[in-house]
Structure 1
Amino acid sequence: MTSRLLLVSPAIGPALREARFYDGSSSIDEAAATRAAAGALAEAARVVLSPGARCRDTAEALGLRGAVAAELGPLDAGQWRGRTLAEVCATEGEAVARWLADPDCPAPGGESVRQVCARVGHWLDSLPEGRTVAVVEPEVVRAAVVHALALPAETFWRLDAPPLTATELSGRSGRWNLRLGRPLGGE
Structure 2
Amino acid sequence: MRLLLLSPASTAAQRAGRFPADDPLDARGLAEVKADATRLRAALSGDAAAFVSPATCARDTASALGLAATVDAALADINYGNWQGRRLADLAIEAPQELAAWTLDPDAAPPGGESFSQLVTRMGQWLDALGTPDETGGGTTNGKTSAASSRAHTVVAVTHAPLLRAAIVHATGASPTVFPRIEITPLSMVELRHSQRGWTWRPASL
Same fold (TM over 0.5): yes
Asked if 1:5 is matched to 2:3, the reply is yes
Compared CA separation, residues 46 and 14, structure 1 to 2 (3 A): same
Which residue does the alignment assign to 2:136? none
- Structure 2: give runs of 5+ residues left out of the alignment: 131-138, 140-149
**1:34 corresponding residue in structure 2:** 33
Cα distance, 1:45 vs structure 2: 3.4
Assess if the C-alpha contact under 8 Å between 2:193 and 2:200 holds in 1: yes
Question: Which residue does the alignment assign to 2:158?
Answer: 135
Is the counterpart of residue 158 in structure 1 residue 157 in structure 2?
A: no
Residue type matched to 2:60 in 1?
D
Aligned partner of residue 164 in structure 2, secondary structure: helix
Moved more, 117-126 or 41-50: 41-50
Separation (CA, whole Å) in 1 of partners of 2:181 and 2:200: 19
Residue 51 of structure 1, aligned match among 47, 51, 54: 54
The sequence identity of aligned pairs, in percent, is 39
Quickly say closer, same or farther: Cα 1:134–1:34, change in 2 above 3 A: same
How far, CA to CA, are the matches of 1:83 and 1:173 in structure 2?
A: 43
2:91·2:99 contact (CA, 8 Å) conserved in 1? yes
Does the 8 Å contact 1:120/1:143 carry over to 2?
yes
Q: CA deviation at 1:173?
A: 7.5
Q: Distance in 1 between matches of 2:113 and 2:196?
A: 27
Aligned length: 181
Where does the alignment leave 5 or more consecutive residues of structure 1 unmatched? none
2:121 equivalent to 1:122: no
Greater shift after overlay, 40-49 or 53-62? 40-49
Q: Is the counterpart of residue 108 in structure 1 residue 111 in structure 2? A: yes
Distance 1:57 1:10 in 2: 8
Give the partner amino acid of 1:104.
Answer: D
Structure 1 residue 13 displacement after superposition:
1.4
Counterpart CA distance in 2 for 1:172 and 1:55 is 28
Larger radius of gyration: 2
- Output the TM-score relative to the length of structure 1: 0.89
